[in-house]
């Protein structure tokens, strides 16, 4: 088969104006695997797009931002030809996918020069967890600028049985700022240290879109936090919803919640049953900390979207399938325990910076191996944060089961690929280093911090 080039799908909602004003939500185009294979061509390049009614220049993998949603099944082969149409090097990371980090797989050490292309090949194991994942560039030093510029898209690994819902919405949340000429505004040195947050909050590249449905309809939302630094404390005003899971986990019994916190990189899988009328989907503020009273890093409250339900009420639909409980590593033996420390320092940064961002005292060095792990073992990691800001910790390839969060034992097994390490606090996780071997990275998912050096190298073999 040929390479599928992503084009914007025509969406019936995209051209008309909903009754209450605002623009109807558009879903990213979708590319779906067939016969166990999905071949995709992504073209990272500057793009002219419309955001909030203005023509602006962003970066995109296709002629729209976000890039196409890649829809897969466990056991599929995903082949991506990435062409670099940027004026600087780039590469690609399939965030959360449990695939090999070696060679043409999810290899964060690949460098694709401007004008060059690279053929990635990702073989999903047959027991790959269903869920919502995403892709974005991962070349150290350029990640935050490229993601903030618009390079991101969702990946969905479908279950065998679709859930009984009226509709499913992939909601890629990002933020961006523009200058007067419609170009993405570069971050100031202070914004890089605190983690930049954009002036505009986007859902699928749109400002405050309208999600329309009928009262009683149950929707599945796959929310991706593609913001480089912003934490999302998500609420639907006046409405509770069910949390199906986050990152790689699925709750056997979805929990009723009134808010969910997503760090940069996290995904939340939600069931929302629409109530009659119009309400707001928004993020409450989240205090990420700061630096000694001089600089603060707060994710401010903001509106994401409007949810409007009108017309005749419909019945909610069928029962959710009963899921088997997920693997539980919280009790039992571990082969090894280790401790990692995320740190911020004053006046010690390389290249004349006033602050340093390190893990275990070192800035990222692709030639150094920081953690050597025996393949097939289970380890327990205590990840400490001695600094005055939260840092979301992300490990590539191998999922982490959270044991202890904010000093408290977690009630159910939870599988994450990004876990918040609060300022002055710690998390404890257990990791089965199974399925794949090779060299890859772990880092802070405040992408400015990753670019400043808060990343380490792990080698499993």
Q: Using CB under 6 A as the criterion, which residues of the chain lie in contact with ligand C2O when the complex forms?
A: 93, 95, 136, 138, 265, 394, 396, 443, 445
Residue-level length of the chain: 461
Give the residue among 310, 303, 308, 307 at the shortest CA–CA distance from 208. Answer: 303
196's contact among Cu ion, ligand C2O, none, with CB below 5 to 8 A by partner kind, is: none
Q: Measured from the CB of residue 333, what is the shortest distance to ligand C2O in angstroms?
A: 29
140 contact, one of ligand C2O, Cu ion, none, CB 5-8 Å limit per kind? none
Q: Taking a C-beta distance cutoff of 8 angstroms, is the pair 226, 149 a contact?
A: no
- Choose between 135 and 178: whose C-beta lies nearer to ligand C2O: 135
Nearer to Cu ion, 79 or 146 (CB): 146
Question: How many angstroms separate the first and last alpha carbons of the chain?
Answer: 35
Please tell me the distance from the alpha carbon of residue 172 to that of residue 319, in angstroms, as a whole number.
27
Quote the CA–CA distance of 131 and 144 in Å, as a whole number.
Answer: 25
Residue 24 and residue 12 in contact, taking contact as beta carbons nearer than 8 Å: no
CB of 99 to Cu ion, least distance (A): 25
449 binds Cu ion (CB under 5 A): yes
449 contact choice in Cu ion, ligand C2O, none (CB below 5 to 8 Å, kind-dependent): Cu ion
* Residue 60 interacts with, from Cu ion, ligand C2O, none (CB under 5-8 Å by kind): none
CB of residue 337 vs ligand C2O: minimum separation in angstroms? 24
Query: Among Cu ion, ligand C2O, none, what does residue 93 contact (CB within 5–8 Å per kind)?
Result: ligand C2O
- Integer-rounded Cα Rg, in Å, for the chain is 21
391 contributes a contact to Cu ion by CB under 5 A: yes
Kindly state the tokens that stand for 383: 């990840």
For ligand C2O, the closer of residues 165 and 457 by Cβ is 457
Q: Which is nearer to ligand C2O, 118 or 134 (CB)?
A: 134
**Interface with Cu ion includes 446 (CB under 5 A)?**
yes
**How is residue 384 written in tokens?**
């400490």
Residue number with CB closer to Cu ion (73 or 449): 449
Using the structure block, give the residue that is written with the tokens 């904010």: 406
Q: 322-359: b or e for each residue (b if 16 or more CB lie within 10 Å)?
A: eeeebeebeeeeeeeeeebbbbbeeeebeeebebbbbb
Q: How far is the CB of 430 from Cu ion (least distance, A)?
A: 22
Q: Decide whether 62 or 446 has the Cβ nearer to Cu ion.
A: 446
Residues 6 or more apart in contact with residue 411 via CB below 8 angstroms: none
Tell me how far apart the alpha carbons of residues 28 and 14 are, in angstroms, rounded to a whole number: 11
Measured from the CB atom, the residue of 222 and 282 that comes closer to ligand C2O is 222
444 binds Cu ion per the rule CB under 5 A: yes
Our finding on whether 144 is near Cu ion (CB under 5 A) is: no
Residue 267: name its binding partner from Cu ion, ligand C2O, none (Cβ under 5 to 8 Å by kind): none
Using the 8-state DSSP alphabet, how is residue 18 labeled? -
| Part of the chain binding Cu ion (CB under 5 A), chosen from 32-40, 304-312, 370-378, 443-451 | 443-451
Instruction: Please state the closest distance from residue 402 (CB atom) to ligand C2O, in A.
Output: 17
Return the closest-CA partner of residue 451 out of 192, 242, 66. Answer: 192
> In whole angstroms, what is the distance from residue 458 CA to residue 105 CA?
16
Tokens for 319?
């029962």
């Amino acid at each position: 088969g040929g390479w599928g080039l992503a084009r914007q799908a025509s969406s019936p909602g995209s051209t008309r104006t909903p009754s209450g004003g605002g623009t109807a939500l558009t879903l990213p185009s979708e590319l779906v695997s067939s016969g166990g294979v999905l071949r995709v061509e992504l073209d990272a390049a500057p793009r002219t797009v419309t955001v909030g009614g203005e023509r602006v220049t962003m970066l995109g993998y296709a002629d729209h931002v976000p890039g196409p949603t890649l829809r897969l099944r466990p056991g599929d082969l995903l082949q991506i030809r990435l062409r670099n149409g940027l004026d600087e090097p780039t590469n690609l990371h399939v965030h959360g996918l449990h695939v090999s980090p070696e060679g043409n797989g999810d290899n964060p050490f690949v460098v694709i020069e401007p004008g060059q292309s690279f053929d990635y090949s990702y073989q999903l194991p047959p027991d790959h967890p269903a869920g919502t994942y995403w892709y974005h560039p991962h070349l150290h030093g350029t990640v935050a600028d490229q993601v903030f510029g618009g390079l991101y898209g969702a990946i969905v690994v479908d279950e065998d049985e679709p859930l009984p819902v009226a509709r499913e919405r992939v909601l890629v949340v990002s933020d961006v700022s523009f200058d007067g000429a419609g170009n993405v505004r570069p971050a100031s040195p202070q914004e890089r240290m605190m983690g930049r947050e954009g002036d505009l909050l986007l859902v699928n590249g749109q400002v405050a879109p309208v999600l329309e449905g009928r009262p009683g309809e149950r929707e599945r939302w796959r929310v991706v936090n593609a913001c480089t630094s912003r934490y999302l404390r998500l609420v639907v005003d006046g409405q509770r919803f069910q949390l199906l899971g986050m990152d790689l986990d699925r709750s056997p019994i979805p929990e009723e919640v009134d808010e969910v916190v997503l760090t940069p990189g996290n995904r939340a899988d939600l069931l929302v049953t629409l109530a009659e009328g119009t309400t707001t989907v928004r993020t409450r503020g989240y205090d990420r900390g700061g630096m000694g009273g001089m600089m603060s890093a707060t994710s401010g409250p903001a509106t994401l979207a409007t949810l409007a339900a009108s017309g005749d009420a419909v019945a909610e639909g069928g029962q959710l399938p009963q899921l088997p409980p997920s693997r539980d590593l919280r009790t039992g033996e571990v082969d090894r325990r280790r401790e990692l420390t995320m740190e911020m320092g004053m006046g010690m940064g390389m290249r004349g910076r006033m602050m340093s961002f390190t893990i275990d005292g070192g800035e990222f060095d692709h030639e150094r191996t920081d953690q050597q792990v025996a393949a097939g073992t289970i380890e327990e990691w205590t990840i400490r944060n001695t600094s005055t800001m939260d840092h979301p910790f992300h490990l590539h390839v191998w999922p982490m089961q959270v044991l202890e969060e904010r000093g408290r034992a977690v009630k159910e097994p939870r599988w994450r690929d990004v876990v918040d390490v609060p300022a002055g606090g710690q998390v404890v996780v257990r990791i089965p280093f199974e399925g794949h071997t090779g060299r890859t990275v772990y880092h802070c998912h405040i992408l400015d911090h990753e670019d400043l050096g808060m990343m380490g190298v792990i080698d499993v073999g």
